[in-house]
Each structure stands twice: as C-alpha cells, then as structure tokens.
C-alpha cells in the first residue's frame, strides 16, 4: 500500500517532492522522487512494503515505460506465470501492471484482480486507472499544459488550482482518447426463479467467501483483522483464522463496557484469535478529532462520526501489524442497513438500491477506511469487495438478502450471508441485530460529550453545530479548503424509490 504523485509534461521535481511529502503518511517505509528518462514525467512514491518488501521500490521501469501504483494485485502470481518470469525485475505485485500493458491486449486492465490505483507513462502517453469499486483513491488536475495525479486531495493543497477531479471507480484516463469505463457493477437480481431454492445458493456463497478471504490475505507480512463483534467483521475474522496456521491477530475498540467490545471478546474466544482491545474516552475523541477531519478530507457529519472508531482501531492494529482485513461491503451486497427493511416486499427496488449503493461506496465508507487507515500507515483490505464475490452476490435474489418470515412478518437483514456462515460462530452472534460501528462501539454518546466541551452546548449537540465545527476544523488545516470540500465524500441520500 502506498501513495504517489505523477507530473506529466510538468518538469518540476521540487513540486513533486512537495506534493508527496503531504501524503507521505501513506508509505512510511520509503519515499522516492524520480524524473523518468525519455518520458515527460516526474514520478514520486511513498511505500508501505507488503509484497516484495526487499525489491519493490517504485517507480518501476520496463524499457521506456514507467509506473507508480497503490494497492494490491491479488492474482499477481498467476499473471507472472502467464506473462513469463523472465520479464520481471522485482517481486512486486505492481510490476504485473506494466507487463500486462505491454502485451497490447485491448482490455488488458480487466485482467487485474485487486484494489489499485496507478499511473503508467510512456514517451507518448499517460494512463491512469482505478479499481472497480474505487477502494483506492486517485485524483487528477490540470496545471498549465500538463497533468498532475495524486493519491489524496491534500497533495494539491496550496497549489492555487481551480479544480481537481477524481478518476471514477472502474474508470481509466488515457491521454490519447480521454476517459472510459472499464468496469460496470452487475445489476442485482430480485427474486428466485421458478423451482429455484435457497440452499444451493448459500452453499456456493460460502465457497466464494472462503476463496475471497484467502485471496485477500496474500502478503509477505502478517495480516490481522478488525473485529467489532458484528456479523461482517466476525465472518471475515473466522474465515481468516481458518486459513492460516497461527492465531489470527484481531483488534477491537470502544468505550469501556460497550457492546462491540463484549461481542468481539466472544468471537475472539470462539475462533481462538490473538485478541487486542483499546478503550477510548470523550477526551480521547476530542484530542484526535482535528487529525481525523484533516486526514478524512471531509467535514460530513456522518462520515466523521463513523471515522472516529476506525481511527482508534487503526492506532491499535498498527502497533502490531501492517495489514488488516475489514468487513466493509457486506451491508451493500447483502442488505444490512436499517433502511433496507422498508424494501422487504419490493425486491426489485431493493436490488436496484443495493446496486446503487455499491457504486457510491468510494465516496463514503471506502473513503473513510482508506484515509483513516493510511493516515497511520496501515493497509486495510475489504474481502467482501472481491470482484468474484461481487459478481456472485449480485446474482443472489434480493428476496434472500432481506428475508421475510411470512408467519410473523419479521424481516431479517443479510439472511443469506448469515445462513452461509451460521456454522462459523455461535447462533446468538450470527443472528445478532446489526448496530452501526459508531453506535456499537459507544462512539455516539461519548462523541456528544466531547463535542459538548468543544462547542459549549449541552449534549446532545445539534447536528448543525456539529457540522460547523467539522467545517471549521477542516478549514484550519488547509490552505485551499474549498478545493477539498468540493471533492469531499458525503452521505448523499439518492436512494431508489420504494
């Protein structure tokens, strides 16, 4: 996991250095600034070494082409075998991007399986692309006659730019022909077909889940797992624990005695993990809030609230490991949010809403996970957003995701996921009702106390006052705050009508 800057037709290594220094937290192991020979590009890269730690320094060169990349290519070993080991000069998974490009196949990028953003330059052109769901960020700005690319918005802060734009998830920019969409989320299915039953589906789902977790654990360093005690993180942790021959390290945070801490202890005991906990107080939240807002690159109230427990979970995990698995994506794939219950008797609308929300993840939950974990040099991986798992989950009828008990009228969110994994965990944990991370961890009430002291209002603090505080904190840290706010991730309700 890394961060990078690329200047195309902008001959200014000093500018590249200033930009990469602003995002150097993404890659504390190594920072490089390089002017590519025979290519009109300056590349800067900060590295968190995960795969090929000894020789994976970037930029990576192949003949006259040069690459900087962020993320992980999980099928890199298969691609190396197909492309031929003799072509490679490093053990880095990122180098496969260069050699795939050089095959000159029309849809070469579609063969990459993982989470990634990259910029690839040749003497004649520059190409920038992003993974299917936008797990890894990538921004672009025009500076004079040239182009600048970077992994975070803050790299552009203070440059006096009029605008910055994000490369869309599943999107590619090519200086020869502009933007194109190389990946589209498959449309979700609504109801079972005549004669179709649920059991074969949940049994296959289990196999797809196991394969995704194994794939997303590929690394040359130890991989751990966030564990909130909710269904999603517990399933990931349980499957990860089964796939390795040592105790899995798990990490849980919350206020003392919070439901998440208690539930996580039970899951950890059940799966035999090496479990770590961190408690936080209102004073702790107040202390880290300015850094959370700055690194999050957003002042959105809901996004900031959800980022607070993630910050402490990252602090805890980074003391022990460099890579952690998370449960993001399960709610969007399997109907896990409270508002999804209202769609229970309209499976077509639910399927459409899940498809929409998957496409919006890059601007909310995935932005939170990427910015907050990378702020402390931790790589977060999201196995639920494995491309094969997305394809299979979208083929599962929505009526099996939000399932209705016709006898009682009760609805159960993520029913098919629970059914596929009910043997992994105790029944009371598998069928536990969902709580949002900031609620189950105790963050909501504790944050109100912290905000009350900062704002001078009696709790609970008014959301408008809370929003104004976050906006002020962001503006205090940036030279060009409007540039950041114009691109900030926000929870926007554009839900499919019921």
Instruction: Give the residue numbers of the binding site for L-glutamine.
Output: 93
Q: Where are the alpha helices (DSSP H) in 252-296?
A: 259-271, 282-296
How far is the C-alpha of 368 from the C-alpha of 438, rounded, in Å? 13
Say how many residues make up the chain: 498
**Residue 2 a catalytic site member:** yes
Q: Which of 2, 6, 46, 421 is catalytic?
A: 2
How far is the C-alpha of 444 from the C-alpha of 442, rounded, in Å? 6
Q: Which residues are annotated as a binding site?
A: 93, 253
Residue 1's nearest CA partner among 17, 35, 25, 34 is 25
Residue 341 burial class via C-beta count within 10 angstroms: exposed 0-12, middle 13-18, buried 19 and up: middle
Residue 495: how many other CB atoms lie within 10 Å: 16
Residue 431's nearest CA partner among 408, 406, 398, 403 is 403
Residue 424's nearest CA partner among 277, 210, 224 is 210
Residue 469's nearest CA partner among 459, 483, 486, 456 is 456
How far is the C-alpha of 25 from the C-alpha of 1, rounded, in Å? 11
With a CB cutoff of 8 Å and minimum separation 6, the contacts of 307 are: 292, 296, 368, 371, 372
Tokens of 255: 């206020």
Which DSSP string do the residues of 71-130 spell out, in sequence order?
EEETTHHHHHHHH-GGG-SS--TTHHHHHHHHTT-TTGGGG--EEEEEEEE-SS-EEEEE
Exposure string for 32-62, b = 16+ CB within 10 A, e = fewer: bbbbbeebbbbbbbbbbbbbbbeebbbbbbb
How far is the C-alpha of 459 from the C-alpha of 100, rounded, in Å? 56
Sheet of strand 379-381: strand arrangement: 274-279, 249-254, 223-226, 323-325, 379-381
Q: Which residues are annotated as a binding site for ATP?
A: 253
Which DSSP string do the residues of 470-493 spell out, in sequence order?
HHHHHHHH-SSHHHHHHT------
Tokens of 135: 């797990």
Q: Catalytic residue positions?
A: 2
């Amino acid at each position: 996991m890394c961060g990078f800057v690329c200047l195309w037709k902008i001959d200014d290594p000093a500018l590249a250095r200033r930009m990469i220094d602003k995002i150097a937290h993404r890659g504390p192991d190594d920072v490089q600034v390089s002017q590519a020979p025979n290519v009109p590009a300056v590349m800067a890269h900060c590295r968190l070494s995960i795969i090929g730690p000894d020789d994976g320094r970037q930029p990576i060169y192949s003949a006259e082409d040069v690459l900087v990349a962020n993320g992980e290519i999980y099928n890199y070993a298969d691609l190396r075998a197909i492309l031929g080991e003799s072509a490679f000069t490093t053990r880095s998974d990122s180098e496969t991007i260069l050699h795939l490009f050089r095959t000159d196949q029309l849809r070469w990028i579609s063969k990459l399986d993982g989470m990634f953003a990259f910029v690839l330059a040749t003497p004649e052109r520059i190409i920038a692309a992003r993974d299917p769901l936008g797990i890894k960020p990538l921004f672009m700005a025009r500076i004079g006659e040239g182009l600048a690319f970077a992994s975070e918005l803050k790299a552009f802060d203070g440059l006096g730019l009029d605008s910055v734009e994000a490369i869309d998830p599943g999107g590619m920019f090519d200086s020869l022909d502009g933007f194109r969409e190389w990946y589209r989320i498959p449309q979700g299915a609504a109801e079972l077909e005549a004669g179709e039953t649920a059991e074969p589906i949940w049994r296959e789902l289990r196999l797809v889940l196991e394969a995704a977790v194994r794939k997303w654990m590929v690394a040359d360093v130890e991989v751990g797992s966030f564990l909130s005690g909710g269904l999603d993180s517990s399933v990931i942790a349980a499957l990860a624990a089964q796939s390795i021959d040592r105790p899995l390290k798990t990490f849980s945070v919350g206020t003392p005695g919070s439901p998440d801490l208690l539930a996580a202890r039970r899951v950890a005991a059940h799966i035999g993990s090496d479990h770590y906990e961190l408690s936080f107080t209102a004073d702790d939240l107040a202390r880290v809030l300015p850094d959370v807002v700055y690194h999050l690159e957003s002042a959105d109230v809901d996004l900031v609230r959800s980022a607070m427990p993630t910050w402490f979970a990252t602090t805890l995990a980074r003391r022990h490991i460099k890579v952690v698995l998370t449960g993001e994506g399960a709610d969007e794939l399997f109907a896990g949010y409270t508002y999804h219950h209202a769609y229970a008797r309209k499976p077509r609308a639910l399927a459409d809403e899940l498809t929409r929300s998957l496409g919006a993840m890059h601007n909310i939950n995935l932005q939170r996970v990427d910015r907050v974990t990378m702020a402390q040099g931790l790589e977060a991986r999201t196995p639920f957003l494995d491309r094969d798992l997305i394809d299979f989950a979208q083929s599962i009828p929505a009526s099996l995701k939000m399932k209705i008990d016709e006898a009682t009228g009760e609805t159960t969110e993520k029913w098919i996921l629970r059914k596929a994994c009910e043997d992994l965990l105790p029944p009371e944990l598998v069928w536990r009702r969902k709580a949002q991370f900031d609620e189950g961890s105790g963050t909501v009430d504790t944050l109100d106390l912290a905000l009350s002291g900062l704002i001078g209002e009696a709790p609970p603090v008014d959301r408008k006052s809370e929003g104004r505080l976050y906006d002020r904190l962001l503006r205090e840290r940036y030279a060009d705050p409007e540039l950041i706010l114009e691109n900030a991730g926000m929870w926007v309700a554009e839900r499919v009508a019921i």
